[in-house]
Amino acid sequence: MLLSKSTRLIRFQPISSLFLPRVQLPPSVFSPSSIQASIPPIVVPVPTRAYSSLHKDRKLEPVRDEFTKTSSSADLEKLAYGPDSHRNPENLSDAIALKTVKSLRVIADTFFQKRYIHRAVMLETVAAVPGMVAGLVRHLRSLRKMQHDGGWIHHLLLEAENERMHLLTWMKICEPKWYERLLVTAVQGIFYNAYFVAYLLFPKTAHRMVGYLEEEAIVSYTAFLSEIDNGNIKNGPAPKIAINYWNLSEDAKLRDVVLAVRADEAAHRDANHEFADRILNKVQDLRKPYETK
């Protein structure tokens, strides 16, 4: 026998305890109490990046490069957003996407009319869904196919986060009524599932629809600006969360925030129309250049 009885570590028991081998550790070296005494508890803190939206010194990644540096009101006025940019439908699926969005617009107009802040809250609770759903579907596909996603997932999740930051900004100046919260819950339940199925079956149409949704968002935010300019909505101070997120100047006003949000929506519009085009033309790898229309 190579091991003496005293140094043998595992001794098998009779048949009654066959499935529970008893481990014998030399008490002077490996007793549980000595292990606890010698190894300090390991505590890995949650990195502050994980809750960066709550910290002044930790910035979330903006969707437009312009917001990586401080923007004045004059800078925000100059932001390109393509006021007349509209993608004409070129096939049946584009036409369906446009018709769907226009129908949703009629419902929103009827329900909210000129209550633009409340409309913005509702809009953002919906707008923050597609990026997350599309990111999830592409994440799962990347895992299944064991392939790189071509850069889509990060972009789509960034878009969802950006829309959620729009919502959190408006929540600083608006208190939705109970029936509006109920509506948000109901719409989310329907829209999340509908968009998930749509993205699995018709991802091109799903992105085109978001492109058109963003076109409508730009119309709504432009009307929001007009209401501020007309004096119907008070141009109060910008919420801190907005100043921090978009790198606005400390004395920024509500109007500056709306300009920043509208610029973000323009980025979403162009990105989603390009995504639809890339799927149509089979150039899905974002590392490959693509000439947008």
> What does the binding site for Fe ion look like in residue numbers (CB under 5 A)?
124, 127, 163, 166, 214, 265, 268
Q: How far is the CB of 167 from Fe ion (least distance, A)?
A: 8
CB hemisphere CA count around 63 (13 angstroms): 26
Is residue 101 within 8 Å of 212, Cβ to Cβ? yes
Choose between 148 and 245: whose C-beta lies nearer to Fe ion.
245
Q: How far is the CB of 276 from Fe ion (least distance, A)?
A: 15
Nearest to 278 by CA among 99, 150, 147, 158: 150
Separation of alpha carbons 53 and 31, rounded Å: 46
Q: How far is the CB of 23 from Fe ion (least distance, A)?
A: 59
Q: How far is the CB of 203 from Fe ion (least distance, A)?
A: 18
Choose between 86 and 141: whose C-beta lies nearer to Fe ion.
86
| Token pair belonging to 122 | 């509702």
Q: How far is the CB of 112 from Fe ion (least distance, A)?
A: 15
Separation of alpha carbons 130 and 151, rounded Å: 16
Separation of alpha carbons 208 and 145, rounded Å: 25
- CA 164, chain centre distance (Å): 6
Choose between 204 and 262: whose C-beta lies nearer to Fe ion.
262
Choose between 167 and 198: whose C-beta lies nearer to Fe ion.
167
Is residue 157 within 8 Å of 132, Cβ to Cβ? yes
Number of H helices, E strands in the chain: 10, 2
Choose between 124 and 215: whose C-beta lies nearer to Fe ion.
124
Q: How far is the CB of 183 from Fe ion (least distance, A)?
A: 18
From first CA to last CA, the distance across the chain in angstroms is 81
Q: How far is the CB of 265 from Fe ion (least distance, A)?
A: 4
CB hemisphere CA count around 202 (13 angstroms): 13
Q: Label residues 135-148 b or e (16+ Cβ within 10 Å = b).
A: bbbbeeeeeeeeee
Q: How far is the CB of 148 from Fe ion (least distance, A)?
A: 26
Q: Exposed, middle or buried by CB within 10 Å (0-12, 13-18, 19+), for 11?
A: exposed
Q: Fill in the amino acid letter for 60.
A: L
Choose between 166 and 273: whose C-beta lies nearer to Fe ion.
166
Choose between 124 and 277: whose C-beta lies nearer to Fe ion.
124
Q: Which residues pair with 253 in a beta bridge?
A: 237
| Token pair belonging to 251 | 């004395």
Choose between 11 and 172: whose C-beta lies nearer to Fe ion.
172
